[in-house]
Each structure stands twice: as structure tokens, then as C-alpha cells.
Amino acid sequence: MLDNIQSNEILDRLPAHLQQYIKPQNYDEYTPVNQAVWRYVMRKNVDYLSRVAHDSYLDGLKKTGISIDSIPNMYGMNRILEEIGWAAVAVDGFIPPAAFMEFQAYNVLVIASDIRQLEHIEYTPAPDIIHEGAGHAPIIANPEYAEYLRRFGEIGCKAISSSHDYEVYEAIRELSILKEAEDTPKEKIEEVEKRVEELQNAEVKPSEMSQIRNLHWWTVEYGLIGTPENPKIYGAGLLSSIGESKSCMTDAVEKLPYTLEASRKEFDITKPQPQLYVTPDFAHLSLVLEEFANKMALRKGGLEGVRKLIDSKNLGTIEFSTGIQVSGNFSRVIEHEGKPVYVQTEGKTALSYREKELVGHGVSNHPEGFGSPVGSLKGINLSIEDMSPRDLRAYDIYEGENISLEFEGGVKVEGEIITGTRNLQGKIIIISFKNCTVTYNDEVLFQPEWGKYDMAVGKNIISAFAGPADHSSFDLITHKPSTTTIKSKKTPEREELESLYKAVRNIRNGENTKFSLQAAFDIVRKHHPKDWLLSVEIYELAVEDDPKLAEEVKEYLQQLKEERLEVAHLISDGIEMTDSKMATP
């Protein structure tokens, strides 16, 4: 699965359904302009974030091998990340939230390996290597935070989604791609923006996944740490946005204490955030996560958990009190006095115990669904799972016996017992019948001509969660995104500009170059009047070696600021970074 990708022990543990999202980084595809964008953002970030970011950020940059001057090569990053028990993989833009979180559960950082265009240097709604590599990676060097991230992934990937969630994911993915692509018609962006807004404003009950995604956004992506009066940045979205990392520290952005309330606060990925949440320390993040997990169907199960799986219209799992797990697409639940008394799946279904498929109970054995009563027998105080072998014999729940079992709530199972399957504690978890009829009042739920009937045993449902219990039970290699990231167009003008950026980069690195600094500046000024970053880079080098050229470039940049007001602050920051560096003894 990991062909053309340098693997390691951590990546080798990844199941095939996650490996399908991984793609090679293709480092050679990064252009000199890409490298300059990375360098500008990192120079500005390290300078500014050294004052406002959590201490773990700068320490983490060193520990994770992330350079200020060059886009990180993930193979090199992995060698260093492995020392702290993590790894990184490249993916194409946004991947489904459940998959993203499951990667975290395996201690794997997902990195969208594309990089933002120069036009979006301050912020892009599309995930890119600046956001992922320079934002997420450094903080995971902090052990407390890394454990929070892993635990978040472990719990988050079990959160139950709704069909509405998937529509929102697809729309946001498309919008992020269109906004980052060159020459996307304004009308097309507005059309998709409208669709995203309609979906986000739709009157739907928030799913577990949408709520835990909110917690992820307000911590992992946009989190502050400390006190509302004196916060520091640790969220990757802020660490990688040279615009929002500054604006978020002003009084214009409200600072709220981080609590479970954040799970109900939606966000708009395309706009700066009007408020942010502040955690007192990283340990508090885990407290709120556990508080949320205690409300999830993962830990509560019951009727509500089954209903969530039915509403999701996706593959999910319920676990009975005996430990038997049923994985499939849940289609029906019969209830009695607020409790589930019968559950039904449709299509391929598998039965597992402790996340391991039971022999003889894979999807080939249950290709058209599975149904089973839940609960206690009517009129009997002792549930089947609590019966000793002697009790089972006394109630004729025994191999070869024809029996009628009536459950509380009206479900009746009648047939000849073939055998039973027990768990490690000796509790019976499955009873298999032949010539079996299952009814609910006057409705037939199973009839003899359908073959052998396997009944799961359990007095209640203790857990319900997204995905299968055993991933190997199902073919999950199905991800085909409706949209893919759009690469920059190659034009003669663009290629000439790239060659100028390469020449300046070579000069900085002491390598042979096609142009001198003066020649590169003359050409960019004459033929590329909209470009500003190359002149900032030329100014940085000229200040040290060619004061006359430096003065000429600075004068040009001042003029450019007046002509291009939208990037004037970026030009000023570029000049200031060089001037302050020269002023430092």
C-alpha cells in the first residue's frame, strides 16, 4: 500500500483503509516561489510567534526538524518524529474527519503537502504544508499535548456522523480547493460559498461528529492557552496564519474560557474567527474531551445510540453487555419503555468480540443483514447472559432443545437450538437456531426458510459507535473524492518568474546562478510588476553586500506599497524583518 513512500514502524501499523488516503509528497514539485512563500511565512512566524506562542512551539520546531529556509521533506521529518513516537504522511487536501482523527489515534500526523499560493500567503482555507507542517508538527513535541491529540483521535474516530455532515465536508472541501486555485471565476466561488452557508445554517440536530469537530477546531486548530487576559497561541491554524496570529491577540477577538460549551459553537472555515477559547493548560483539554466522551453513544449505548447509527446511514457498531459487537448499516430498532428490544441491520454485517471478528460470522455469513432481540426474558429475573450452565439447562436453553423465548417488549424467538458461543468469561454471547421463527406481535422478523438464525445475547446495549469493530471485516478501500486539488498553470511568464526566484535562492545558498541580484531585480521590476516577494528577498541579500542596490530596491518596494495597498503590510513586514536583523548587534 505504501509504494513509493518511505515507511517506518509507525506507518507500517496503519490499516489499509487509512493507507488509501496517503500519497507521495513529490518534493521536486515544489517551485522556487513555493520555497520563498514558506520562507517568508516561517521567518515572520518565528520572529512574531517567539513572543506570543506557547513555549512548546519554538522547542518543537527544533525537535521536529522543521527548517525556516526550506519546505520540510516528510521523509526527513519522519526520522525525527519517530523519536517522539509519531510519524507524518502526505494527503490530498481535506480528508473525511473520521479518517483524519483515526490517523491521530495511530500517532500519525496528516499533512496536506500542497502549499498556498503567494496570493494567499496570509491565510488559505485549504489545508497546506505550512498549516500542517509548521502548525501541527511542532506542538506534538510536547508530551502532554501529543497524548491529547492521540486520545482525541481515538475517541473522535468513533463519533457518529450524519448524512448532513458528509454534505458539509464535500462542500467545504470543494470551496477550499476553488479558493486556492488560480483564476477560479468569482461566480463559481460565490455559488459554492452559498451552498456551504446554506448547509451550515440548516436546521439539523448536531451529530456527535459535528460537535467533536467543533472541539477539534477550537483547540487543535484555533486554541489559545493561559488566561483570557494573557493568552498564548498553540492552535495550528493560528500558528500558520501570519494574519490571524496577530489579529487574534487584539481586543477585537473575544477570549472565552475553554469548556464543553465549545462543542456547540460552529465555525466558518473561510473567515477569521470572531472569538477563541483559552485553556489554562494542556491537561484541561483532556478533561473536557473526557466530559464530551461521557455523553457519546460510544459510552452510553442504549436506544439513543442505535438511533444515531440509523440516522447516520453509515457503517457502525453496537456492543452488547456480553461484549459481542454487531457491525453493519443499522436500519431499524424496536423499542419498549425507552429501551431497544430488537435491532436490525441491512446488507453486509459482521459479528465481533473485542474488535476481532468471530469465526463464522463475517459478511459472507451475514450478507443480507442481521437482527437480534435485546434485553431480558419476560417473567424471568435472571438474564440469559447471567445464567450458569445449570440455569441454562433448567430453562431448556440447551443444544437440541426446541424452545420458545419471549423477551420483554414482545419479541419472541422459537426454534431448535443448534449451539451456543461463549466469551472468555464463560458467558453465552450467541445462540444459533434452526427451523427458527422470530416475531414481534403479529410481525414476522425471521422465518425458517431463511436458514440458520444467530441470536446475539445481551441484556442491554452498552456502546454504539461509527465504523466497524474489526476493520478487516469490510472492504473499506472506497474513498474517491469528488474534487481534487488544482495545480498552478505553467505559463512562459510564470516560468521566467520561477527562474528569477531560483536565481535569488541560489545566491543565498552560495550556488551558481543564472542572474545576478541586480539583473534579477531589473527583470522582476520591468516584467513582473505585481510580484513583491522576490524584491523583498533581493533587499534582504543586497543590504549585506550591495548597499546601493538595497537602497534602489527599498525605494521600489515603498512605491509598490502605494500601488498595491492589499499587500502593503506584507511588504512593510518584509522590509522590517531585514532592517531589524541588521540592527541587531
Residues contributing to the annotated binding site: 131, 136, 221
Q: Which residues of 29-66 are buried (b: 16+ CB within 10 A; e: fewer)?
A: ebbbbbbbbbbbbbbbbeebbeebbbebbeebbebbbb
Q: Which residues of 252-270 are buried (b: 16+ CB within 10 A; e: fewer)?
A: ebebeebeeebbeeebebb
- Grid cell 477570549 is found at 255
Q: For the chain, what is the radius of gyration of the CA atoms?
A: 29
Dihedral of alpha carbons 239, 244, 246, 248, sign: negative
Evaluate whether 308 touches 464 at the Cβ level (below 8 Å): yes
Evaluate whether 531 touches 559 at the Cβ level (below 8 Å): no
Residue 201, SS3? coil
Q: Report the C-alpha gap between 33 and 498 in whole angstroms.
A: 6
Beta strands in 236-323 (DSSP E): 254-257, 275-279, 316-320
| Known binding residues for Fe cation | 131, 136, 221
Evaluate whether 337 touches 283 at the Cβ level (below 8 Å): no
As a residue count, the chain comes to 585
Q: In terms of DSSP H, where are the helices of 106-185? A: 129, 137-139, 143-156, 163-180
Phi, psi (deg, nearest 5) at residue 260 = -60, -20
Evaluate whether 553 touches 585 at the Cβ level (below 8 Å): no
Closest CA to 200 of 208, 192, 230, 292: 192
Evaluate whether 122 touches 532 at the Cβ level (below 8 Å): no
- Grid cell 459487537 is found at 325
CA distances from 337 to 82, 304, 413, 463 (A): 52, 13, 20, 19
* DSSP class per residue in 67-86: -SSSPPPHHHHHHHHGGGT-
Q: Report the C-alpha gap between 318 and 325 in whole angstroms.
A: 6
Closest CA to 17 of 138, 144, 126, 106: 106
How far is residue 581 CA from its own chain's centroid? Answer: 38
C-alpha grid cell for residue 460? 442491554
C-alpha grid cell for residue 83? 523519536
Q: Count the Cβ atoms, other than its own, within 10 Å of residue 134.
A: 26
* DSSP class per residue in 29-66: G--HHHHHHHHHHHHHHHHHHHHHB-HHHHHHHHHTT-
The strand pair at 461-466 and 316-320 is best described as: antiparallel
How many Å from the N-terminal Cα to the C-terminal Cα in the chain?
A: 53
Q: Report the C-alpha gap between 157 and 155 in whole angstroms.
A: 6
Closest CA to 215 of 167, 159, 168: 159
Phi, psi (deg, nearest 5) at residue 44 = -70, -40
Q: Report the C-alpha gap between 241 and 173 in whole angstroms.
A: 19
